Structure 1
């Protein structure tokens, strides 16, 4: 199994482990099951790789800022989606997925959202391999300014 973790930023060591370490620990597989791609720092987006999944980390960035890697990354994600590779985006990663498929990311008209938020899942989640155990609702910790 090979899961690509797209590391979209870094976390200060005084606060926590970095995004890739947190994701690997959370997924619970050994490190040899992961390919870490540090997109903002110029790591190549490989097309000649077999992937079983892609996880896009969060970041302290805003998608409305301009990034020279955003369009090549969007194209790369669409390529693997056509190959039916599952893609999960967390926070900033979710915004990248939305952008790649034509969605809009804007400042939340209600301002900053911080704290515990109830997330109600659509009924399709009942059959989702990753999220079905959380159906129909989950309480999640959130901290963001922008939304899809």
Structure 2
């Protein structure tokens, strides 16, 4: 039987796991009552990735690693993403996963020239984003939690640009009909974002910039429930 796979590309701070849970748990909660089976693969820990034909869909989480480090487990996820896109299997990349999709499909990933974006930020949909099923029920401008030092600096050829803000031009895009990337974190709660703002050390490289504001994000989480609905309609 096929499953919707959450591919774990990292973990949150060790000091916060007991209190907040970890990346895969945040995503699983965000999916809601998905009517299809959900499975987790810890790619960072070396667990075998699923074969594309076993995937009703796949989500790649964020990570404290950097895509440009080209870690073996990360390169393996990138290969799987290419296979999923070729098979037209539903895919959602969150932050690190968004960047992996960007590079896997032929775009460019690297450090953002203005440093780190961190906090509750405003994200704006393009005209295409407003029509895209991933953003169904989400207003044209909405609040989302974000923390990242690297970005998709150049979108893949043929990608559909879906969302942006004044700091990050490529907050979301789509490749083909069913592979999406979001640079922001639809799985974050206010409490999770607060932990990242307080620590400020996720990832490495550029110094933190961006708003540093902490607020509520009543609509951003719909990205996950919309994706789950999309997957399960095809299940």
Bin for the TM-score computed over the shorter chain = 0.7 to 0.9
Number of the residue aligned with 2:209: none
Number of the residue aligned with 2:30: 26
Paired residues for 1:121-136 under 5 Å: 121-136=125-140
Larger RCO (alpha carbons 8 Å, 6+ apart): 2
Residues 60-119 of structure 1: CA distance to partner in whole angstroms, max 9, x if unpaired?
111122301233322211111122111111111111111111222211111121122221
Number of the residue aligned with 2:185: none
Q: Which runs of 5+ in 2 are unaligned?
A: 153-235
| 1:81 equivalenced with 2:60 (yes/no) | no
What is the CA distance between 1:46 and its match in structure 2?
A: 2.4
Contact 1:125–1:135 (CA under 8 A) maintained in structure 2: no
Within 1, Cα distance between the matches of 2:104 and 2:141? 27
| 1:16 equivalenced with 2:20 (yes/no) | yes
Within 2, Cα distance between the matches of 1:84 and 1:32? 18
Number of the residue aligned with 2:100: 96
Instruction: Give RMSD over aligned pairs.
Output: 2.1
Within 2, Cα distance between the matches of 1:46 and 1:75? 12
Within 1, Cα distance between the matches of 2:74 and 2:7? 12
Number of the residue aligned with 2:150: 146
State the number of aligned residues: 148
Number of the residue aligned with 1:62: 66
Could you say what secondary structure the match of 2:11 adopts?
coil
Q: 2:54 aligns with which of 37, 50, 53?
A: 50
Could you say what secondary structure the match of 2:49 adopts?
coil
Within 2, Cα distance between the matches of 1:115 and 1:22? 17
TM-score (norm. length: structure 1) = 0.87
